[in-house]
Structures are given as C-alpha cells and as structure tokens.
Structure 1
Amino acid sequence: MKKRMKKTAALWLTVFLFSAFFCGCQGDPPPGNAGSGESVSDSSSVPVPSGPSQEQEPGQRDPKPVVLTPTAPGTEVIGNEAVSIDVSNKADGYMTVTYHGDNPKVKLQIKYVPDEETVYTYNLQAGQSDVFLFSRGDGEYQITVNENIEGNRYSQAFAGTCQVALKDQLTPFLYPNQYVKFTEDSQAVGESQKLVQSAGDDLEAIAAIYNYVIGNIQYDFDKAASVQSGYLPDIDETLNTKKGICFDYAALMTAMLRVQRIPTKLVVGYAGELYHAWISVYLDGVGWIDNIIYFDGKDWVRMDPTFAASGGGASEYVGDGSNYHDLYYY
C-alpha cells in the first residue's frame, strides 16, 4: 500500500487566490481540439468509481473518459418571466438556469438552508443557460435571482425553494458546471485519456494528471494582475496556451479528474487568513480525501501546484490540515 501511495507524489491542490477575482475578492465567491470521451446524458447509468472492468487486466484501470452531459428536460421548472430554473435533475445534483431579461448585472444566489451561513453567489448572462450544483447534498435550497439597480444595489427578480434528495452523493462532482465547464469535444477530455493510459489505479491517474498540470502550465502573472471579478476559466485555452492563474489550474485538473470517473470537488475556503482553493478527491474504498493527499513515506501532506509550477515554496501551506476551512464546493 505504501508503495502505491508514494507514487501519488504531490497530489493536493491548494492555490493562491488574488485580489480582483475569485482567488481574492472580498465580496462574492467566484461566479465564472476534439476530445475522445464517451458522453452520458442518462443519469440512471451514471458511472461511479469501481475496480477494473471485466475487459481490463488486473492492476489496470480503464482510461477512456466518460463525460456526463447535463440536460434540461423541463419536467420540473421553477421561475417566472425573468428566469427559468430547471430542477428536473435535482436528484443528480444539478440545475440549469436561464435568465430571460436584459439586465447586464444579475446575481444568482443559492442558500443551503441547513447551513444558513453558506450562500453561493454566481453571475448570470442574458439568454445563456448555465449548470449549477446542489453541492451541499440532501436538504432544502433557497434560490434567488437579483437584478442590479445601480452601484451595488440589487432588487429581487425571483425567489423559490427546492428540496433535494440525491440518488448518489458522488454524482454532482462528476458533472460539468459553470466553473468547471467541459463537453465530450473538449481537448482536455482527450488529453486526460493520454495522461492516464498507463495508470494502474485512481491514485496513479491522479498523480499523472497533477504532474502534467504543474509540469506544463506556467503561472500567468500578467493575467493575475488584470483579471476582473466574475472571471470564468476556459480549460482548453489553459491547455493550449500552457499558462493560467490559480482558478485555471484548479478547473483544468478538476475537469480531467471528473471525466476519468474520479469524483472531484473544487473547494474554496481559508488557509489561515488567506482565501484559497483546493481539490478534494474521492477514492473507492477510502472515501473523500479532504485535507491530505500526498504521501511522503510517513505522512500525508498538502502541496500547492501553483507554487510547484512557479518554483515557489509551499512549506507554509503544508501541514495536518487543521488550518484549512472549507466554505464552498464546486
């Protein structure tokens, strides 16, 4: 077991969050060529982590990516003339939201009622449908849409509730969403298959994807200095330009892991007093690895891939996980 663990090499993703965008804003949390993946839209057959398939040799895992495609069948919709919120697939952990108005500044807020302090805030664009997760699990969610009046003042355009009972607690973290957007045609999907071709298990697949990201993506300091609040990553642009900011690193890695059937959370929270993002993964037979993922031969530790890629040190952010506090899951 230890031998397998050592191969994982620096798997934990904690990334610096800078001012002016999701990585360091003081207000809202973050708003926002052919692949070879298998597209799955029927949620009744959603693949979950499992051992080698019958076609695979023992000690191997199937590298073929599986892309879950969100749908909006319209069988259960809430909203009004301003917004349509399709919650038909709430049991699979997501909803599709379409804003019909023409206000250029619109906020979607999702509150998980059992935890009154946790409110997710997103930007909506007129005429565009986006996917959002019910990422806190079973329970009641309050959903509001607010339109800008002027400055920082907003008026409520819609308010409603949705009761969620998930078929599987892992499924939401296999789907794409507004922050981690991909399709079966995304270049990153096909690249994930190449990277994990020789992986014997999910740990080795995670290591291969992690090592690729930190070894090939350079930190874009110019972009970090100019990025605006509400920025959404483009995983294929990151892959092609070979550079990005912390949000780009996290989104690219999360997308690659999800299409490899590894449930993955992009987590936002605090490391000490710093606003950070990191990744949690689910391993079959182990469960969620939320705090520590890299095994150094003695202990599991964290590592920041942004620091690793830029040549910086990460010792300040490596520890037993006690100073990390989760706030949001995407």
Structure 2
Amino acid sequence: MKKIVSFIAAFIILFTSFGYAVEKNYPAVFDSSKSRLGIIGVNYGVGNKKVKLVVEKGQAKYTYNLKGDKKIENFPLQLNDGNYKVSILENVSGSSYKIVAAANIDVKVEDKKNVFLNSIQLIEWNDSMKAIEKAKELTRNLDTDEEKIAAIHGYIVENIRYDYDKARNLNYDYLPVIDTTFATNLGICYDYSSLFAGMLRSVGIPAKLIKGYTKNAQGYHAWNEVYANEKWMIIDTTYDAQMKENKLKHTIYKNSSDYDKTYEY
C-alpha cells in the first residue's frame, strides 16, 4: 500500500522591521477577554493584502494567515501560562512583511486541557454545523470518552476519502472547513484532523490538531492527539481511512515513536 501523500504548503516570512505602526485603513483588534480559556481573538481588515498573525512565547513562534472577513478569528494560546506577544504583519513585497500592530498579553489558563476544546481558526466549529450534529448523534447514548472517540473515529474512517486532487492543487493559505469535509466526504490530512478535532471538542473531549512528520505518510502531515484516561494519545484518521479502504488491519491509537510533532493547535 502506498503511503499517504499529505501536502500543507509552507510559507517563509522575512521580517523587515520590528517596529510597528497601526494603519488607519486597516484597524486591528486584539480580544484577550477569553485568554483564561486559552484563546485570543483577532479582527483585522485584510483588504487585498496578505496578512499574517504571529503568536510568540519565549522561543516558540506560531504563524497564521488571516482571512480578514470582518469576523473575529480565534487562535490558541497553547504554550502554557506566561507572557505572549501577538503581532499582525502585512506583506510588503515578495516574502517581506512589516509589523503593523502588536500587543503583549499575560496568560493564565484555568485548565490547560480546555485550551483544546475551543473553536479556533484551524478547527472552527459550532453547534449548528451538520458535522457537529452528527458527533452528538453518534455519542448520545455512550458513557465513556473512549466509546465516544471510537464512534467518531469510526464514522470518519468509514466515510471520508482522501482527496488527491486537492492535495496537488493546494493554496499556501488553505484552511480546512469542517462542514465542507463532512458534506463532500473528501479531504486531505489537514481536513481529516480538523474534522476529527472539531467533532470531539463538541462533545467535551479535548483534542489537538498536530502537524509534523510520520513514517506513515510522505511529506508534512496532520493528525490528532486526544485526551482520554488522563493521557494524550495519538490518532491518525487519514492513515486509518487508507488502511480501511485497502482492507488492512489498523488500531485507533498510534505509537508515539512513529510520529514527530512540529506544531500543535
């Protein structure tokens, strides 16, 4: 069986200035009112420009592409308690960006696991979504988290197929949309992991979306870590769907030595 091909476009940022100025035509808003839950909201008018959000704490740095669709976009504060710097950068030319707004935020999260229950840009969910309605239906009569994890995992592995055309034509700023994956029954690893995380979070099970590398896939890959029985466990629904499609045996929980984490959300 061929390894799964996973494409998530990488984009290199060159910082041309560490000073910043807020431009009147593009007002920035940082909403830290939910920082105790482990998220920060950003509302920024992108216009026709490429705009990024950078979240930093210590040596760790996470970079996101802003949609700028006049809605608050939520991003995780997953780097434990402490002082975070958040910056908005506008593209100047090529791969060069300038900082146009920045803020420092002191974060103390009430429950670290609950950071991974939130609706965020990469895992955007709400109770009105069809996928979330399905998650609640699948788990309605189940008692334990492990039973709920197995039910949602089974549904995704049975119904979602890998979209090779999308993988070959992926834009650098691609973001998964949970209900699109659910409706089309198609997705790449990014879609699988976002859908699985959103469905689990909606029924109260902490779930991370992970990016990195594994021997089970070619190139950059996305999978999940799920919290149950007082520990985080690795689940790779993309891989499992391929295994099931090819009638090969697989287990839900994966060996951590087979997965190399780069980022978690």
Q: Does the CA contact (< 8 Å) of 2:158 and 2:241 recur in 1?
A: no
Aligned pairs for 1:41-190 within 5 A: 80=22, 81=24, 82-100=27-45, 102-113=47-58, 116=59, 118-126=60-68, 127-190=70-133
Deviation at 1:325, TM superposition (A): 2.5
Deviation at 1:199, TM superposition (A): 2.4
Deviation at 1:206, TM superposition (A): 0.4
Q: Does the CA contact (< 8 Å) of 2:156 and 2:241 recur in 1?
A: no
Q: Distance in 1 between matches of 2:98 and 2:196?
A: 37
Number of the residue aligned with 1:262: 205
Residue correspondences, number: 248
Q: Does the CA contact (< 8 Å) of 1:97 and 1:129 recur in 2?
A: yes
* Unaligned residue ranges in structure 2 (runs of 5+): 14-20
* Unaligned residue ranges in structure 1 (runs of 5+): 1-14, 30-78, 295-301
Among all aligned residue pairs of Structure 1 and Structure 2, give the percentage whose two residues are the same amino acid: 32
Work out which structure has the larger RCO, using CA pairs closer than 8 Å and 6 or more positions apart in sequence.
Answer: 1
Q: Does the CA contact (< 8 Å) of 1:136 and 1:329 recur in 2?
A: no
Q: Distance in 2 between matches of 1:203 and 1:265?
A: 16
1:99-139 deviations in Å (ceiling 9; x for gaps): 135352001111122xx0x3111111333320101012212
Q: Does the CA contact (< 8 Å) of 1:144 and 1:160 recur in 2?
A: yes
- TM-score in terms of structure 2 length: 0.83
List 4+ stretches of structure 1 deviating above 6 A.
312-315
Name the SS for the 2:257 alignment partner: coil
1:46-85 deviations in Å (ceiling 9; x for gaps): xxxxxxxxxxxxxxxxxxxxxxxxxxxxxxxxx9553110
- Pick which of 118-127 and 201-210 moved more: 118-127
Name the SS for the 1:170 alignment partner: helix
- Indicate whether 1:237 and 2:180 are aligned: yes
Change (3 A) 1:314 1:267: farther
Please give the root-mean-square deviation of Cα atoms over the aligned residues, in Å.
2.8
Name the SS for the 2:143 alignment partner: coil
- TM-score in terms of structure 1 length: 0.68
Deviation at 1:232, TM superposition (A): 1.1
Q: Distance in 2 between matches of 1:249 and 1:142?
A: 30
Number of the residue aligned with 2:157: 214
